Amino acid sequence: MSGHSKWSSIKHKKGAADAKRGKLFSKLSRAIIVAAKEGGPDPLANLALQNAIEKARSYSMPKDNIERAITKGSGADAEASSFESVVYEGYGSEGVAVLVEALTDNRNRTASEVRHLFSKHGGNLGATGAVAWQFERCGVVLVSEEGVDEDALVLAAAEAGADDVELDGSTYQVTSAPEELSVVREALEGAGFSVESAELSMVPKTTVSISDESKAKQVVRLVEGLEDLDDVQEVYANFDIPERILEAVAS
């Protein structure tokens, strides 16, 4: 999955350095608010909240912001009660499966925006269940390759309960069951490894290879456009684009 997980690393670095960090933090806060509303304010008893907090930490969201979002979600806050989770499924150029997770207070608006982007970038929005079967929810921890002893990383990951460790370019991708994400991250950090990000992800079971740069650009523009929508929390796609093309497109 070289072209897929490489995109995860590029996306995280772009997000961390994004000039629109306020927009990113707003999305992270929204996820925490809804998770706390639906499952309670204790991360130890609320896996969704635990994972939302893990992701916020990955993007260096201040602790005060995280705690404020938890408080909003666990109280009678109007912002928390207005949002609902919606998933959109469709296909991009070259038959790439695309899964979009959103938190919205207006289904019609969000559906219209998502449909427009699929159409604009050579794709089409599908029915519920059209592509979800092609993905598996996992905990994913990205670790920088620099200075890493692979055997030591594999051992530490296995002892923490991870399922797999895969080198992708300059980044190791450590996957685990969703409920083990926090444990794996803490274990790797405790063992001295540099964690770039830790979050839940929908990992594709198979990928679609794209070697044509114009087609790759069309797919990446669709994903980036969807990610930029205010209501969209996550976008997953099963493309496999060569690293050199992916970096050229992303730049």
Per-residue pLDDT tens digits for 6-29: 666 666 666 655 545 678 888 999
Q: Is the pLDDT of residue 1 over 50?
A: no
Name, of 16-25, 56-65, 71-80, 152-161, the range with top average pLDDT.
152-161
Q: How far apart are CA 162 and CA 229, in angstroms?
A: 32
Q: How far apart are CA 105 and CA 116, in angstroms?
A: 19
Q: What is the mean pLDDT of the chain?
A: 87
Token pair of 181 as six digits: 């994400």
Indicate the pTM of the whole model: 0.84
CA 38 from chain centre, in angstroms, equals 20
- Provide φ and ψ at 19, rounded to 5°: -65, -20
- pLDDT for 68 equals 92
Query: What is the distance between the terminal CA atoms of the chain, rounded to a whole angstrom?
Result: 21
Domain extents in the chain: 2-82, 84-133+206-250, 135-204
- b/e map 121-154, b = 16+ CB within 10 Å: bbbebbeeebbbebbeebbbbbbeeeebeeeebe
Q: pLDDT tens across 31-45, in order?
A: 999 999 889 999 989
Q: How far apart are CA 59 and CA 66, in angstroms?
A: 12
Which helix (H) or strand (E) segment holds residue 3: the answer is helix 2-16
Average pLDDT of span 207-220: 90
What percentage of the chain exceeds 90 in pLDDT? 57
Average pLDDT of span 177-192: 93
Token pair of 11 as six digits: 């996306």
Q: How far apart are CA 219 and CA 95, in angstroms?
A: 10
Cβ–Cβ under 8 Å, residues 100 and 89? yes
Cβ–Cβ under 8 Å, residues 215 and 228? no
Q: How far apart are CA 232 and CA 83, in angstroms?
A: 12
pLDDT band at 2 (very low <50, low <70, confident <90, very high): very low
**Parallel, antiparallel, or unpaired for β 171-176 and 135-144?**
antiparallel
pLDDT band at 82 (very low <50, low <70, confident <90, very high): confident
Average pLDDT of span 189-193: 94
What percentage of the chain exceeds 70 in pLDDT? 88
CATH 3.40.50.720 fits 135-204, yes or no: no
Fold classification of 2-82 is Arc Repressor Mutant, subunit A (1.10.10)
Average pLDDT of span 55-70: 90
Average pLDDT of span 167-187: 89
Q: pLDDT tens across 97-148, in order?
A: 999 999 998 999 999 999 999 999 999 999 999 999 999 999 999 998 888 9
Domains 84-133+206-250 and 135-204 share a fold: yes
Token pair of 109 as six digits: 């608006």
- pLDDT for 238 equals 92
Q: Is the pLDDT of residue 235 over 90?
A: yes
What class does CATH assign to 84-133+206-250?
alpha beta
pLDDT band at 162 (very low <50, low <70, confident <90, very high): very high
- pLDDT for 157 equals 96
Q: Is the pLDDT of residue 84 over 90?
A: no
